[in-house]
Each structure stands twice: as C-alpha cells, then as structure tokens.
Amino acid sequence: MLNPTGWWLAISAMDLRCGIDRLLVAVRTTLDRDAFDGGAFVFCNRTGTRIKVLMVDATGVWLCVRRLHEGRFVWPRSDAASCELDAEQFAWLCAGVDWQRLRVQKSIAHRV
C-alpha cells in the first residue's frame, strides 16, 4: 500500500509514455529530489487528462496511472519545478476537484 512521506507534483507537463526509469531520472534532474526518500511524485500529461504517481519503497517501485472519465486534473501554474501537497489535497486532485481552493479555504478557516 502507498504510504508516502509526502506528495510532490511536477509542475511541467511530462510525456507519460515514459516508464519508471525515465520518471526516476526526472525526479532527480527536474524536481531536484531524491526518489528514494519515501515521497510520492506526481506527473501530469500536457492535456491534463492523465497522471502518473511514482513511489519507491523498501521492496520496489510503484507506478500508478489515473485517468478521469471526463474533465481535467487541476494543476498548479508556477515557475517552480514542483509543489508539495498533503494527503487530503492529493485525494481531491485524484477526484478531479480543485484542491487549490481547498488550501485557500483551510487558511481562511484558521484565521477565524
């Protein structure tokens, strides 16, 4: 079962025809992260209709693919190479919901 130490989204679109080895290289070179630190790394295709999640654990490598039946995944726009999500935000992302609005609502609720 996936139980990552954190969720990292690659901001730039990725050609998802690639496999595990190329994604591991992208984690190191593009995201400047260690793929073996227990984190899960999420990549999106150019059209925003599919994502791949890569995670390395003690016994091997997980590579999961998700495609929405309709619509697109809500993806951040930034000059940064990656952004970090918590588990709840990742769950909303996978459901096709705007998880970025969830973050804004949480910060407003904490101020009240």
Q: Is 16 inside any structural domain?
A: yes
Q: Is 2 inside any structural domain?
A: no
Bigger pLDDT: 53 or 3?
Answer: 53
Q: Is 80 inside any structural domain?
A: yes
Average pLDDT over residues 73-88: 87
Q: Is 1 inside any structural domain?
A: no
Query: In the prediction, which pLDDT does 111 show?
Result: 53
Considering only CA atoms, which of 64, 23, 67 is closest in space to residue 47?
67
How many domains, in total, are found in the chain? 1
Query: In the prediction, which pLDDT does 14 show?
Result: 93
> Facing residues of 63 across strands?
54
Q: Which domain holds residue 71?
A: 7-111
Average pLDDT over residues 76-80: 82
Question: Is the distance from CB of 11 to CB of 81 less than 8 angstroms?
Answer: yes
pLDDT tens per residue across span 25-71: 999 999 999 999 999 999 999 999 999 999 999 899 999 999 988 88
